[in-house]
Homo-oligomer: A and B are copies of this chain.
Amino acid sequence: MKYEAITIKDIAKALGLSTSTVSRALRDSYEISSETKDRVLAYAKEMNYRPNPIALSLKEKRSSSIGVLVSEIANSFFSQAINGIESVAQEKGYNVIIAQSKEDFDREVSALHYLASRSVDGILISVSAGTSDFSTINDLYLRGMPLVSFDRVVDHLNMHKVKVDNYKGGYDATHHLIKNGYKKIACIASSAYLSISEERVAGYKDALIEKKMGVDENLIDYCLHSGLIYEEVEDIMNKLMMQKNKPDAILACSDKITTNIMRYCQDKKIKIPAKIGLLGFSNLDLTDLLTPSLSVVKQPAAEMGRIAAELLIKMIESKRPTTTFEEVILPTELFQRASSAKKAKP
């Protein structure tokens, strides 16, 4: 069943004019008499005429829509980011088309191809945790597709980047744990492919080194799927808790990892923070209401989305190809709560 709507041709036929006259009348061209304009406008309004955006897209070679590729929509960070993106897009007259990679490289590539085949004017991308090959993205860049990466940016590619200060986020979080008396701090990061993992871990390491605490590689681990699967976190936690140098605190570097650790500790009846301190990167709204209330590093998700969307639309609407790329770095925010409370002196 089709949704049939009135076209410029219908108006032309009804009023005995040519399509060009109608088109110009609707665009208020100076070469159309005011009487004709009035007739056309009145009829168009009466028939509720709306220009066909697809025909316009074909003509103008632009679709007025932007693609957003994230790993998982049902993730508080990304849904907040999309919220920001949508608000900017709506304001500037762009559609937002969303796609999710589910942290899978193949799905990411096919989603990119799908979006890229000229159905969007630009793409906002946060790469999947499973992605180590960026040739598809680079191909798009080389072919002139406006791209902006956010959160999980790709360091060595030429494009605008919007991210948080992951190094400082990791550093501050670790520093806070140290200050609160934790001695053996483990770090569970997302996929090692991601620069955000690298940076957060670097901040973690430097905080330890600065306090002369030494870095134990056995206390550092990575989740290929960013903790999306519980078992992934479970395995790492089992390994960590079995080893001789057992941690007394954990820095979790993504939302799902953080909450899955909480779930693990609840299952295994490991008391937080008595047995183990916990501090995680998270954008969930309710972390303050959790048991125990969760210390988190929060990212300004909606703002990242807004800034990324603005950069992208600026690129799309620019006459000349963009040659210099910005890297916008926003601050993270540390919320100190019960899950990383000061450790009782032994």
Contacts and interface: CB of A to CB of B under 8 A. Distances in A.
Given A57-B54, A117-B52, A1 B322 contact: yes
A271 interface: no
Copies in the complex: 2
A1 B146 contact: yes
A140 B5 CA distance: 11
Interface in A47-66: 50-55, 57-58, 61-63, 65
Size band of the interface chain A makes with B: 35 or more
Interface in A120-150: 121, 140, 143-146
A133 B42 CA distance: 25
Given A259-B286, A289-B263, A98 B82 contact: yes
17 contacts: A1-B144, A1-B146, A1-B320, A2-B62, A3-B121, A54-B54, A54-B118, A54-B119, A74-B80, A79-B79, A96-B99, A259-B286, A259-B289, A262-B286, A290-B291, A291-B292, A291-B293
Given A4-B143, A5-B143, A75-B79, 15 more contacts: A1-B144, A1-B315, A3-B144, A5-B117, A50-B117, A52-B117, A54-B58, A54-B118, A55-B58, A65-B97, A73-B83, A74-B83, A96-B99, A289-B291, A291-B291
